[in-house]
Structure 1
């Protein structure tokens, strides 16, 4: 388990590569987009610098962490020596199934295949491989270098040994593992996304404004971030995708996405990454809220 491959170098992928490399593992960071890989390494470097500024790590540890990461656009060479592959591509089931078919054919025998999906069925993903007993969910929280939780999701075929291995590995990353069974949304998003959706319904129906909804949840429920700001942080398209998984999986109206959320995604108002969601931002920067998009 010395060699870890991470597929996808976006926000979650580069964060996962960061924590594995910082823990001393040799990481192959894989993405079909070379420019995205360059951006990922730059992001990891920036986050390591933040850790140095906060005296969490030293300059020497930063250098060692970056040395542990190899970026590649070749998935076959990227997984050939892996003891664990963590897929962190977009939350799209067709894409994930295609990736798992590929890595099942190219990863070494005995290699554990994990997915960072936040809602998609681990059982469905495992079914397209010839090693379902070695397939498991590792749902890291965003931002990965900071958040302690890793939601570990077993599919019915996942062996006890594989689960125990991933639990131990998670602890070695200085994270806290919580093991759950496979179900739509697992635990984190099964509870979180209906709350976000209900907050959007409250806005849509004119019960309260954006700031009022978020303030009530922050001050009244001790949440560090209000549900609408959190939705912007996650990405409204990602929220909609997860809510649709819940709706399709449980086949009950209570998980139906709010029309306002559907409308905003259709208009490209996706939150921080586009500069506008329930709030307005300097594009790509969660710290600079310019003004509320809703008045």
Structure 2
């Protein structure tokens, strides 16, 4: 697969675009509003400038990477791809609408992949006439850095589709693992429970945000504490994904604490808004 497009220019969508552009691929990326695309592209430019300042890439390499990311508000600009990766908001009806549109516009051979971590690829595929070519392709944040991709097969995903996506993941420097469809796959299902328990411990007054993070980094050898990680993922994203797992599994350990909902209502979503469990404006 040589031609790849991205649908959705949020943190994950543009992160995936950057990861692919760093591997030399030209990547069309679509969103509804040009302002969203331009903000995301500027954030990517800053990320690359940071790599330049650390002497991990040259300024010329950074410019070449940016030049490979082609932003567009015309969905048809993305539809000649061999593989389309959808990274819109984690809402089933939104995703089904996007997949139905893509199904009507793309050539029959195009594989349609969803970056979902919690929603059913089988249900997403039901909005198309090509369920054998619909697959979950769950990247991790930050996409240019994290090596893992979960390749999630739905009820009708063909073996050919799974193998093609796994081979593509290897081609762009990632390590794929195969997952049979289940709520949360591997990482999200395990991780959400851990993060929600951390919020419970905080809300009960057992320890502070800083001390909980320090304890898990030094006591469990985790590279990040749970609150640093929630802030990186996005408080809203973590809350929505936890809700989805709680609904699918009927297990209360996945139900997000009221503190998380209060933070979402206040707009304290983590790094992307400058404030979450930590204040990033200082």
TM bucket (normalised to shorter chain) is over 0.9
Give the secondary-structure state (helix, strand or coil) at the position aligned to 1:6. strand
Separation (CA, whole Å) in 2 of partners of 1:277 and 1:51:
25
Say whether the 8 Å CA contact 2:209–2:277 is kept in structure 1: yes
Q: 1:57-72, aligned counterparts within 5 Å?
A: 57-72=57-72
Corresponding residue for residue 169 of structure 1 = 168
TM-score using structure 2 length: 0.94
Higher mean alpha-carbon deviation, 259-268 vs 48-57, is at 48-57
Q: Is structure 2 residue 120 aligned with structure 1 residue 90? A: no
Match of 1:119 in 2: 118
SS at the partner of 1:128? coil
246 and 229 in structure 1: CA distance in 2 versus 1, 3 angstrom threshold: same
Q: Secondary structure at the match of 2:178?
A: strand
Which structure 2 residues correspond to residues 211-226 of structure 1 after superposition, within 5 A? 211-226=210-225
Question: How far apart, CA to CA, are the structure 2 residues paired with 1:23 and 1:276?
Answer: 32
Q: Measure the CA separation in 2 of the matches of 1:82 and 1:99.
A: 15
**Residue 58 of structure 1: CA displacement?**
4.1
CA distance in 2, matches of 1:213, 1:12: 27
Q: Tell me, yes or no, if structure 1 residue 184 matches structure 2 residue 183.
A: yes
- Residue 212 of structure 1: CA displacement? 1.5
Partner of 2:196: 197
Deviates more, 1:247-256 or 1:49-58: 49-58
Distance 1:181 1:89, change over 3 A: same
Unaligned runs of 5+ in 1: 283-289, 291-295
- SS of the aligned residue for 1:279 comes to coil
2 CA distance for matches of 1:200 and 1:275?
A: 19
Corresponding residue for 2:14? Answer: 14
Further displaced range: 179-188 or 32-41? 32-41
2:185, 2:148 → 1: CA distance? 14
Superposed displacement of residue 60, structure 1: 4.5
Alpha-carbon deviations, 1:85-118, whole Å to 9, x = none? 0011122222111111111111111100011112
Match of 1:3 in 2: 3
Give the aligned partner of residue 240 of structure 1.
Answer: 239
> Matches of 1:46 and 1:279 in 2, distance apart?
21
The root-mean-square deviation of aligned C-alpha atoms, in Å, is 1.7
> Which residues of 2 match residues 142-161 of structure 1 at below 5 A?
142-161=141-160
1:15-64 deviation line (CA, Å, top 9, x unaligned): 11112222222211111110121222223333333334444444454344
- Distance in 2, matches of 1:266 and 1:48, equals 32
Distance of 2:27 and 2:252 partners within structure 1: 43
Question: Paired residues, what number?
Answer: 282
